[in-house]
């Protein structure tokens, strides 16, 4: 079964993105499943960055670090990434004499053929296609489509460069191993942060405010670019304004969301509490990156789980969902809006840089979803309206101001049923505390149980959450293939934790993209389970199956 | 017909007896009545402070949010339902201190809301600390040896930031204040009314100190002259002019482009987006469907 990992490495500004995109598109055309992820530094030019393309005959949506084919665009990249190359791998570089290297002088070919070094990346893309034995016509079609908007001359020059690169590869070591053929398959190919805005629009989102911050900036940008979605977009002066604007809009009846990363969310926290107190629905996306403080702006982490769960002073219900992949991100985004509206609470969607920037392949991508309910009451059916009317399930009928003659009063102070400040400690305060607790109980019963992977006969169980699902599943299946009784439990609806029973006769190992084991801390506290081991990664790179296996081996 | 009593709230008022805030409350009710607004067409938005309690004392929709955050909440409300008359009632600590950044950027954005700042030159609810507008040198219950920072001049700041309606009123002159509110609410775009509201408990000066100095702008005052308005707003003499200091030509409104596209109805009443629209956007990625 073919499973090939291609690494394209170079500096920011050298056109890695174009090479990666063009090659990915070409390989998708052939009918392979493709999974890509990127890692890069927080700068505009220079440094070291890479684009990883995993090609397989069946859906393999998980990252690999090693390289079967490595393109290095400069010497610094060669030094930094050479260690990734597998024993039988091939390097494509400007120079090199050894048997494992294909040398193509990208820059001089570009200057010679196109009168500009700027086309060196296309020369490299052409050479990569030759090494992978992709017909030039496939590449030509992809390039023509990609550059069409820039005019005929640009298309022509790009084709000239790519063809020159293609022709420059004379012979390839280990050719067979790298040869791709045309297959009769086609996959959906999507990223989480590309589908989340669409899912939000589908769920009725009409209002987004944000202050730019990686890796969440793409969310608001997508709405701004696509005016036909009809979502109001505003770049706020800071994250505090962003959340308060969104809460105002939601109070006034609009489905609203905000998007940020951990540092921006830190500024928003007072607003989370405000949404809890005023019982205003709100969806908050946190694209995690490593902290503390500014941390590593362009890298990945799962460091903000406990922060998200505990965010906000005082006691109030909120939900925290952590999608595992783009398909799940679509469903969870719609669900976030639904939960927020139904229970009139803030709902947090936890993604991360890895999930934001990676593209996954699917046999079929599901964008139909659960039926949508507005959860806004009919003013005609109400005679004496009180925004915080005490009810059996803690949820009060919601109207918005201006909807009818009923007045809608929302208050951040402790309030009475009518939404006015109260200091009635004997009756009203306890009743409102109870109201919020009752909503929490209702919400908790709605939370989905974690996914169970080969759990029945498992003796050792990996437990993870969010974007590590692909790596965990892959590690489990590889270890099972070797005869280990391995299984996994994976959480995507994390807070409030559902009523779940952990079997007592298994060994549990937590797998998390942080240094302290935040989920394991939570599970130990809530369910009293004991962890016999941990796999933790906090260097800013995504967890892979190899990483999990190595960590387990090192310990056993 | 709307009457004064339609705005009467049953909520117990927590202000100190004799507080000039009562004058602002009455002036605002009168203004809303004379504009013919019904309570359900009005949304009062506030943060936290004595001033920010006003929405509870006037029967209409209200959003009493966090300290300093009235303006962003009001912007969200106004965008979500432009059919509402959205009015912020806030203290100068709430608006210029904790919420200063939002105030500046709201001036740039120019949403069609009215901002009424109760300026008592002190943090009253927290019992007497200096506020951004406490005059330099005044001793407070925290700045025991006198406030060292300069007094914030936010009316002039508003003029510089191209706010097209900038007024100063006096809580002790209810008729005049009510007229200011009427013009401010009728104005399209952000209108700012800063109201002198001496604090009778923690204020460093007596109400009479202000009363003696307040005077109406002269009849021949040209409120359209921006430079003169700035001079008037900055003037530090023994007189405190009240009235509309500046009224500029109409500026583009916040969310105008969006509203031209979507119409004026509340966002909650827009139809759900069709599955087809979503599917069309996913199509280029769905090579298999
Ligand atoms: C985040 C936050 N910080 C501080 C406070 C305490 N606080 C409440 S009102 C206020 C100052 C209010 O001053 P001002 O806006 O001038 O209103 P006033 O009470 O004088 O009418 C402060 C500091 C708070 N409620 N929230």
How wide is the angle at C-alpha A355 spanned by C-alphas A354 and A358, nearest 5°? 80
User: What is the per-residue DSSP string for A385-429?
Assistant: --TT---TTSPPP---TTSSSS--EEESS-B-TTS-B---TTTHH
Q: What share of chain A has pLDDT > 70, as a percent?
A: 99
Angle at which helices A192-202 and A217-225 pack, to 10 degrees? 60
Residues contacting residue A425 through CB under 8 Å, at least 6 positions apart: none
Q: Could you tell me if the CB of B126 is within 6 A of ligand 1?
A: yes
Q: Could you tell me if the CB of B214 is within 6 A of ligand 1?
A: no
Closest residue of B to A30, CA-based?
B287
B72 touches chain A (CB under 8 A): yes
Q: Is B144 buried (19+), middle (13-18) or exposed (0-12) by CB count in 10 A?
A: exposed
Strand order through the sheet with B240-247: A409-411, B61-64, B42-46, B85-91, B114-119, B191-196, B165-170, B240-247, B214-216
Q: What share of chain A has pLDDT > 90, as a percent?
A: 94
pLDDT at B237 (0 to 100): 85
CATH topology for B4-287?
Rossmann fold (3.40.50)
What tens digit of pLDDT does each residue of A433-485 get? 999 999 999 999 999 999 999 999 999 999 999 999 999 999 999 999 999 99
Q: How near does any CA of chain B get to the CA of A238, in Å?
A: 9
pLDDT at B275 (0 to 100): 87
Comparing CB atoms, the residue among A186, A201, A413 nearest residue B64 is A413
What tens digit of pLDDT does each residue of B232-256 get? 999 888 999 999 999 999 999 999 9
Closest residue of A to B84, CA-based?
A402
* Whole-number Cα distances in Å, A307 to A216, A313, A324, A356, A471: 17, 12, 19, 20, 24
What tens digit of pLDDT does each residue of B156-204 get? 999 999 999 999 999 999 999 999 999 999 999 999 999 999 999 999 9
pLDDT at B137 (0 to 100): 97
| Separation CA A253–CA A233 (nearest Å) | 16
Contact A477, A537 (CB under 8 A): no
| Separation CA B118–CA B110 (nearest Å) | 20
Give B155 Cα–ligand 1 centroid separation in angstroms.
21
User: Which atom number of ligand 1 is nearest to the Cα of residue B92?
Assistant: 16
Checking if the pLDDT of A556 tops 60, the result is no
Beta bridge mates, A71: A8, A92
- State the average pLDDT over residues A272-300: 98
Query: Residue B69 phi/psi, 5° resolution?
Result: -110, 20
Residues contacting residue B50 through CB under 8 Å, at least 6 positions apart: B14, B15, B19, B21, B91, B118, B120, B124, B125
Q: How confident is the model at residue B261 (pLDDT cuts 50, 70, 90)?
A: very high
Domain A451-552 matching CATH 3.40.50.920: the answer reads yes
What tens digit of pLDDT does each residue of B60-87 get? 999 999 999 999 999 999 999 999 999 9
Residues contacting residue A145 through CB under 8 Å, at least 6 positions apart: none
Q: How confident is the model at residue A424 (pLDDT cuts 50, 70, 90)?
A: very high
pLDDT at B259 (0 to 100): 97
Domain A3-186 superfamily per CATH: Pyruvate-ferredoxin oxidoreductase, PFOR, domain III (3.40.920.10)
Checking if the pLDDT of A554 tops 80, the result is no
- Token pair 């398959």 is found at A185
Q: Which residue spans of chain A are classified as CATH 3.40.920.10?
A: 3-186
- State the average pLDDT over residues A84-88: 94
pLDDT at A369 (0 to 100): 64
pLDDT at B18 (0 to 100): 96
Whether the CA torsion A148, A151, A154, A160 is positive or negative: it is positive
**Residue A23 in 3-state DSSP?**
helix
H/E stretch holding A273 reads helix A262-278
Total beta-carbon pairs less than 8 A apart between chain A and chain B: 213
Contact A65, A10 (CB under 8 A): no
pLDDT at A316 (0 to 100): 98
- State the average pLDDT over residues A229-234: 97
pLDDT at B41 (0 to 100): 98
Chain B, window 86-125: residues with a beta carbon less than 8 angstroms from a chain A beta carbon: 101-102, 104-105
Quote the tokens at residue B220: 């021949």
Q: Which residue spans of chain A are classified as CATH 3.40.50.920?
A: 451-552
ipTM of the complex: 0.98
Question: Of A282, A367, A288, whose CA–CA distance to A328 is shortest?
Answer: A367
Secondary structure of B86-127 in HEC code, one letter for each residue: EEEEEEHHHHHHHCHHHHHHHHHHCCCCEEEEEECCCECCCC
pLDDT at A97 (0 to 100): 83
Q: Where are the domains of chain B?
A: 4-287
* Whole-number Cα distances in Å, A160 to A112, A121, A165, A256, B234: 11, 12, 9, 48, 67
pLDDT at B289 (0 to 100): 56
pLDDT at B286 (0 to 100): 84
H/E stretch holding B72 reads helix B70-80
A229 touches chain B (CB under 8 A): yes
B192 touches chain A (CB under 8 A): no
CATH architecture of A190-362: 3-Layer(aba) Sandwich (3.40)
How wide is the angle at C-alpha B101 spanned by C-alphas B97 and B105, nearest 5°? 135
What tens digit of pLDDT does each residue of A308-343 get? 999 999 999 999 999 999 999 999 999 999 999 999
Strand order through the sheet with A460-465: A451-453, A486-491, A460-465, A507-512, A533-536
Secondary structure of A460-481 in HEC code, one letter for each residue: EEEEEEHHHHHHHHHHHHHHHH
Contact A314, A268 (CB under 8 A): no
Q: What share of chain B has pLDDT > 70, as a percent?
A: 99
Least confident of A143-147, A174-178, A423-427, B206-210: A174-178
Question: Of A273, A207, A276, A218, whose CA–CA distance to A242 is shortest?
Answer: A207
Q: Is the pTM of this model over 0.90?
A: yes
């Amino acid at each position: 079964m073919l499973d090939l990992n291609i690494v394209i490495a170079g500096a920011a500004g050298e056109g890695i993105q174009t090479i990666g995109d063009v090659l990915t598109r070409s390989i998708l055309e052939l009918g392979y499943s493709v999974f890509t992820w990127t890692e890069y530094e927080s700068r505009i030019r220079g440094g070291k960055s890479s684009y990883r393309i995993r090609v397989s005959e069946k859906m393999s949506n998980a990252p690999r670090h090693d390289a079967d084919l490595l393109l290095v665009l400069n010497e610094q990249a060669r030094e930094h990434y050479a260690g990734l190359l597998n024993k039988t791998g091939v390097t494509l570089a400007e120079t090199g004499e050894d048997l494992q290297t294909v040398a193509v002088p990208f820059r001089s070919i570009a200057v010679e053929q196109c009168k500009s070094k700027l086309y060196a990346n296309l020369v490299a893309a052409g050479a990569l296609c030759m090494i992978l034995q992709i017909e030039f016509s496939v590449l030509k079609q992809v390039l023509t489509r990609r550059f069409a908007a820039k005019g005929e001359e640009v298309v022509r020059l790009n084709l000239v460069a790519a063809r020159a690169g293609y022709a420059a590869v004379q012979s390839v070591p280990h050719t067979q191993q790298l040869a791709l053929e045309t297959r009769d398959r086609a996959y959906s190919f999507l990223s989480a942060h590309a589908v989340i805005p669409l899912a939000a629009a589908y769920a009725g989102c009409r209002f987004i405010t944000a202050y730019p911050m990686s890796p969440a900036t793409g969310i608001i940008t997508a709405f701004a670019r696509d005016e036909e979605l009809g979502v109001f977009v505003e770049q706020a002066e800071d994250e505090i304004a962003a959340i308060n604007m969104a809460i105002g809009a939601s109070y006034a009846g609009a489905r609203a969301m905000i998007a940020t990363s951990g540092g921006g969310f830190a500024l928003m926290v007072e607003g989370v509490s405000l949404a809890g107190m005023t019982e205003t629905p709100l969806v908050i996306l946190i694209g995690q990156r490593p902290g503390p403080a500014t941390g590593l702006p362009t890298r990945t982490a799962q460091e903000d789980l406990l922060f998200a769960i505990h965010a906000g002073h005082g006691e109030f219900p909120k939900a925290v969902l952590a999608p595992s992949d783009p398909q799940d991100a679509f469903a969870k985004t719609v669900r976030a809006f639904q939960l927020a509206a139904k229970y009139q609470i803030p709902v947090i969607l936890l993604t991360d840089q890895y999930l934001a920037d990676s593209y996954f392949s699917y046999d079929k991508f599901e964008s139909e979803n659960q039926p949508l309910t507005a959860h806004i009451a009919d003013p005609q059916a109400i005679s004496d309206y009180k925004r915080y009317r005490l009810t059996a399930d803690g949820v009060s009928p919601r109207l918005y101001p201006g909807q009818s003659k009923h007045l809608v009063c929302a208050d951040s102070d402790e309030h009475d049923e009518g939404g006015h400040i109260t200091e009635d400690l004997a009756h009203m305060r306890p009743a409102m505390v109870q109201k919020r607790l009752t909503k929490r109980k209702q919400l908790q019963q709605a939370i989905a149980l974690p996914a169970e992977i080969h759990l029945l006969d498992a003796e050792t169980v990996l437990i993870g959450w969010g974007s590590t699902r692909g790596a965990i599943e892959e590690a489990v299946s590889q270890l099972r293939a070797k005869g280990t009784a391995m299984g996994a439990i994976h959480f995507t609806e994390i807070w409030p934790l559902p009523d779940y029973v952990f079997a007592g006769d298994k060994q549990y190992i937590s797998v998390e993209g942080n240094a302290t084991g935040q989920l394991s801390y939570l599970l130990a506290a809530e369910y009293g389970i004991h962890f016999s081991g941990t796999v933790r990664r906090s260097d800013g790179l995504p967890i892979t199956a190899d990483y999990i296996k190595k960590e387990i081996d090192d310990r056993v | 017909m709307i009457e004064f009593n339609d705005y009467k709230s049953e909520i117990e008022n927590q202000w100190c007896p004799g507080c000039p805030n009562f004058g602002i409350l009455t002036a605002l009710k009168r203004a809303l009545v004379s504009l013919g607004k019904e309570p359900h067409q009005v949304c009062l938005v506030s943060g936290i402070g004595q001033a920010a309690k006003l929405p509870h004392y006037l029967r209409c929709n209200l959003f009493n949010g966090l300290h300093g955050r009235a303006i962003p909440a009001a912007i969200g409300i106004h965008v979500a339902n432009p059919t509402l008359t959205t009015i912020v009632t806030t203290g100068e600590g709430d608006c210029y201190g904790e919420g200063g950044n939002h105030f500046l950027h709201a001036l740039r954005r120019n949403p069609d809301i009215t901002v009424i700042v109760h300026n008592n030159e002190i943090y009253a609810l927290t019992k007497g600390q200096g506020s951004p507008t406490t005059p330099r040198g005044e001793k407070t219950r925290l700045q025991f040896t006198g406030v060292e920072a300069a007094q914030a001049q936010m009316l002039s700041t508003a003029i510089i930031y191209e706010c097209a309606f900038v007024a100063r009123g006096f809580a002790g002159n209810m008729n005049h204040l009510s007229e200011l509110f009427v013009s401010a609410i009728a104005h399209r775009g952000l209108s700012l009314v800063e109201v002198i509201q001496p604090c009778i408990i923690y204020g460093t000066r007596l109400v009479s100190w202000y009363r003696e100095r307040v005077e109406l702008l002269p009849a021949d005052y040209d409120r359209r002259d921006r430079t003169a308005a700035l001079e008037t707003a900055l003037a530090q003499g023994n007189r405190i002019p009240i009235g509309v200091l500046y009224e500029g030509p109409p500026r583009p409104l916040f969310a105008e482009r969006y509203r031209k596209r979507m119409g004026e109805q509340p966002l909650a009443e827009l139809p759900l987006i069709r599955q087809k629209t979503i599917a069309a956007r996913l199509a280029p990625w769905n090579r298999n469907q």
